Structure 1
């Protein structure tokens, strides 16, 4: 092996080492962002659960409210949460597939489907699939503010309450752990109550189930209105936190794998370089010995 080839291997080793430094740094950044996102998500989920629980107690299938009633529109909106950046494995492509699958199912049911993109990669993925996008929101900070997500929720509620859209669905990635996540979708609007209100059972009854009577102040309708406003905003915020935690976890894993692959490549190239050096030294020794033998004869 000549000097030129050895120099080429050295250059490749240097290049891979630079890449390793970048991927290691990106892993650390993603790890830090993941910790903040999971802390925010962990603190926020009990609040969302509490709101949902209260809403489930006061809203039933017999409740009359614009957010429950089906309208005449045959347009459906699918909200898609994806990332702002790449380098996170199959995170972005996975949620785009989930969203399009949801849209296809709705189209088979007779709906005209349009998409609401949250994240740069959501917009790019949907455009690549030739899907119609009615709105795009980009996140400029590591975590969304409640004001930011409340604005998105207000837009979605307006799309439904104006009867421009008959259904609104959410497609997002549910965070489970740094290495585990699941794409999922559900119907946000119209809101579907869990069940009819349970009957009131007399306290003297032997039955072991009782429905609590609630006193509403100022009125049940006013409370339901306020609860819906809080609920939709909190759901949009929760899904955003789930999606971001999943994205940061996926990027941390991807960068960790890239750094490990870079190390393996550096080791392989270093071994190749050492073998080349040994071969060159052996050849030089052989030439010297051969030359000395010629002179001796």
Structure 2
């Protein structure tokens, strides 16, 4: 039977933990509302931009050697943008991204990885710590974007990605992140950033070609739209990941609070049993002592 003092200390400890997890759940819920509003407002713009780009770019992206954004080269060096969170305590949120990146490397870029030609650009401290420990080459100057998540900061990462691709330092760029669906569900997404391919129509969508009048020219417009589209795609992924992180943390803290409540019930039951056993033992000792006095 456990010691009464030990059980009481555990009850106090679990109650303190429960208060912390409850507070973290409330904070995550408040952040979730804001981040959900941001991604909800961002998606229509990103979808419309992709729709315009789809109509404009089909001719430009098919075999245009002058358009370096769409140049398909031999895949020697690969850059993978891994979007995680800066903090833990959000369930399997970060683990899903790490496993997704690892699976992507094993299934598509195993040969490049063996030669040390897979580089990780982590956005989020957790992915930087994970892949840093596994001796991957990192581009870590964009790790802390979530501390001040703005389009300007996402654009800096986008500018770097386009610069190194154009200079030929990398032949392909992949983006791995969690997409926000609802509070309890996040969907792992892997998207090719560069080289740019013509976006696929969404399921159930009807493709419509619009006869635009181009001024100054179709090629110049497409070359101006593609960089902006890439930056928007990165920013949308960060907003999605941020909302998904808050949803995952809220769910995890809610579950932790429930588990703490269940553990408290068990500990209180154990405490009451131990207390009852101690009282019964004392009564038996008193009765035994009284009987001994009578017989004396």
TM-score of Structure 1 vs Structure 2, range by shorter chain: 0.7 to 0.9
Report the CA distance between 1:240 and its aligned residue. Answer: 0.6
Does the 8 Å contact 1:73/1:163 carry over to 2?
A: no
The structure with the greater share of residues assigned to helix is 2
Q: In structure 2, the residue corresponding to 1:262 is in which secondary structure?
A: helix
Report the CA distance between 1:131 and its aligned residue. Answer: 1.5
- Please report the TM-score for the alignment, with normalisation by the length of structure 2: 0.87
Question: 1:42 aligned to 2:40?
Answer: yes
After TM superposition, the structure 1 = structure 2 runs for residues 34-183 of structure 1, keeping only pairs within 5 Å, are 34-60=32-58, 61-63=62-64, 64-71=66-73, 74-108=76-110, 112-139=117-144, 141=146, 144-183=149-188
Q: In structure 2, the residue corresponding to 1:59 is in which secondary structure?
A: helix
- Tell me the residue number matched to 1:16: 14
Does the 8 Å contact 1:34/1:249 carry over to 2?
A: yes
CA distance in 2, matches of 1:180, 1:210: 32
Pair 153,287 (structure 1): closer, same or farther in 2 beyond 3 Å: same
**190, 195, 200: which is aligned to 2:195?**
190
Aligned residues: 282
**254, 257, 279: which is aligned to 1:256?**
254
Unaligned runs of 5+ in 2: 201-206
Question: 1:273 aligned to 2:278?
Answer: no
Does the 8 Å contact 2:32/2:247 carry over to 1?
A: yes
- Tell me the residue number matched to 2:216: 218
CA distance in 1, matches of 2:74, 2:273: 75
Superposition CA RMSD, Å: 2.3
- Tell me the residue number matched to 2:242: 244
Does the 8 Å contact 1:178/1:250 carry over to 2?
A: yes
- Please report the TM-score for the alignment, with normalisation by the length of structure 1: 0.87
